[in-house]
Amino acid sequence: MRKMLFVLLLIFVAVNNWSWSLFGQNTVTINSTPNGAQVYQQNSYLGTTPLTLTYTRGCFDTPITLFSKHLDNGITLTISKNGYYDQILTLTNGPYEWESFNKENHYTYFLISGHSFHVNLNQIKDIRGLDPVMEGENEWISYFNKNINSLNPIEGIWRITVNIKVYHNGELIRSEEKSQDRNNAIIKYGSSFRLCDIDGKNQSDLLSEYTATVNQNIYLFKRTFSSEVMTSNAVMTSIGLLEYNYEVGQEELKSILKNNFQPGWKMYRELKLIKTYPTQEVIITNQQGSGTGFALSSDGLIVTCYHVIENAEKIVVRGINSSFDRTYIAKVLASDRNNDIALIKIDDPTFKFIEKIPYIISDKTIDVGSSIFTLGYPLRSSMGDEIKLTNGIISSKSGFKGDITTYQISAPVQPGNSGCPLFDDSGNVVGIVNAKHVLAENATYAIKTNYLRNLIESLQEPPKINSINVLSTKTLSEKVKTLKNYIYIIEIN
């Protein structure tokens, strides 16, 4: 009797396993909105949505015997698409416990919970408030123009030249240089920067990205093809020139060579990227809608940069006598667009005269190496309304490309500093901060006060400018305490 039962059990198991092999395949369909998302399982690339995956019947049904095919582990997938947050999709329920009748054998198993799954992907909004994926060159140009002040040097539109070298068993088989007939864009994406096809036609299984390092000229390059990752160092060798090389991964090489692929083949790419946009190498550091200004006279005449108030429908001054709750309306009195200077006047019946100006507007050029400092209101959205001090030296008596109207200084500035006064160590105003070099560390530019004095003198009724400096004997901290009452936030609408 026992032998008969044993034979029947063997027959049952054999039939059971035979049925799995013959009829035991079942499918799972993965869809996403939008489709075209990459699907990964534990970093292994499975394909793009809509995707059909095949599993044995044992992944769906409760096991019957000790020998039944079953899932020992759950199935969790990652759904990823450029421009959208990754979504985790769990296909299984469990774990469950199987136990034999005599309780001598047992195991845990998981079951796939269905045959069709759908994931809604949430689009990433870039920190600048725009979608990180655009289509067409005009959309990219518009994006870079709007965010010109917050771009990393690597961000922009690039033309790529590739030198390809192919080896077989160490022997150079082919070397050729190719210039791509289309532009590419590099854009901030989370904590890194991604290389995108400017027409929005990126390969779903291919990703090139760059991560900034402590060296502002070196980025960590990572190229992902399916589940294969290759890395290198990308170096910004000069303004608007990015160079690096890397070995093409075997999976990508197989996709290129197809039936011609054989063991021993290797391919290397040497890339040279030339930035074609933005073409301007000096970025005006005004925070949109906010800059800095400083008092020129006690009756409400204020100096700022022309680009701060350009096209403003309404100008608001905040911070007079260090009061940030009280605001005053101002109007443009005179401007010099070429030299980026504007004079605005408070036009508000509630305004009262401020105390006498404690500094002078210098008419002299100061020497290279002279100590300087600035006071302004940068990045207010994250740094607040307290005045910020930076200091440094005069690096050069000329600015960008030898511009004699400006100084180059080493004091660092940020968006919102535009229009802030540049002081020498005695507290004399010697310049107006208006720009910085985006590809050089601590290279800031300030308009010389000679050009401010020229604008003042061009007024029909020039104001009387203070000629006595009461700050020269004070310490720097004492100077700041006095000066902050005369340096203001300029807001535009």
Residue 292's CB is within 10 A of a number of other CB atoms, namely: 32
Averaged pLDDT for residues 136-149: 76
Largest CA distance in the chain: 122
The H-or-E segment that residue 10 falls in is: helix 2-23
Res 203 pLDDT > 60: no
pLDDT > 80? residue 56? yes
**Per-residue pLDDT tens for 241-261?**
999 999 999 888 888 888 888
| pLDDT above 70 (res 200) | no
Domains (range + CATH), the chain: 2-120 (no CATH), 137-279 (2.40.128), 283-492 (2.40.10.120)
Give the 3-state secondary structure of 245-300. EEECCHHHHHHHHHHHCCCCEEEEEEEEEEEEECCCCEEECCECCEEEEEECCCCC
CA 168 to chain centre: 40
What average pLDDT score do residues 39-62 get? 83
Structure confidence by residue, pLDDT tens digits, 396-417: 999 888 889 999 999 998 888 9
Examine the pLDDT at 22 and tell me if it is beyond 50: no
**What tens digit of pLDDT does each residue of 324-333 get?**
878 899 999 9
Coil/strand/helix, residue 125: coil
> What is the pLDDT confidence band of residue 285, given thresholds at 50, 70 and 90?
very low
Tell me the whole-structure pTM to 2 decimals.
0.47
- What is the rounded CA–CA span in Å between residue 437 and residue 239? 10
pLDDT at 147 exceeding the cut of 60 = yes
- For residue 219, count other CB atoms closer than 10 A to its CB: 25
Band (14; pLDDT cuts 50, 70, 90)? very low
